[in-house]
Structure 1
Amino acid sequence: MTVALSCRAGCGACCIAPSISSPIPGMPHGKPAGVRCIQLTEDNRCAIFGRPERPKVCGGLRPEVSMCGGDRQHALGWLGELEAATR
């Protein structure tokens, strides 16, 4: 049985670590890896979650144990390694 994970409150790793090549409101050329998305709020939540202008790549990234691990630092590291491997 697979258990669905929810995003960790206050994490935001998926909005910082990976690059996004598609336009984001306020970031028309996307964002480079390691740069905080302009749509990430102070409490590390997506300000455009569920809205049509949210990039499709963001909606396709789902939390899972291997990516999220036990804490935010694990998620940042894992996503950073994935980014480097896919350049």
Structure 2
Amino acid sequence: MDCRMGCGACCIAPSISSPIPGMPNGKKAGERCVQLDENNLCRLFGDPRRPRVCSSFDATHDVCGDNREQALILLTRLEQATGDA
């Protein structure tokens, strides 16, 4: 599965504990990453400063569902089940 252009759910729903440019302490679950632009595209895509957790994320149907709304729900549930949300 390819990422949906303009989705950005993976840049909002999960917490990220590693530093992100502009967010030295990472981000909390549900917090919008500062690197997510107004079109919900990552400003760091392809940039070596992009956190490893972000670059290693693979879009799959079980995590991303059929649309952005489902992706936000599924990723939030996964975060709640496994993270510190």
Q: 2:71 aligns with which of 49, 63, 75?
A: 75
Name which of 3, 6, 27 aligns with 2:2: 6
Aligned AA for 1:86? T
Q: Aligned partners of 1:70, 1:83: CA distance in 2, in Å? A: 19
1:63 aligned partner, one-letter code: A
Corresponding residue of 1:50: 46
2:23 corresponds to: 27
- Post-superposition offset of 1:71: 0.8
CA distance in 2, matches of 1:40, 1:72: 15
Distance 2:64 2:28 in 1: 20
Determine the structure 1 residue equivalent to 2:61: 65
Q: What TM-score do you get using the length of structure 1 for normalisation?
A: 0.91
Give the structure with higher Rg (CA). Answer: 1
2:24 corresponds to 1:37: no
How many residues align? The count is 83
Query: Could you tell me the TM-score, scaled by structure 2's length?
Result: 0.93
Percentage identity across paired residues of the two chains: 59
How far is the alpha carbon of 1:85 from its aligned partner?
0.7
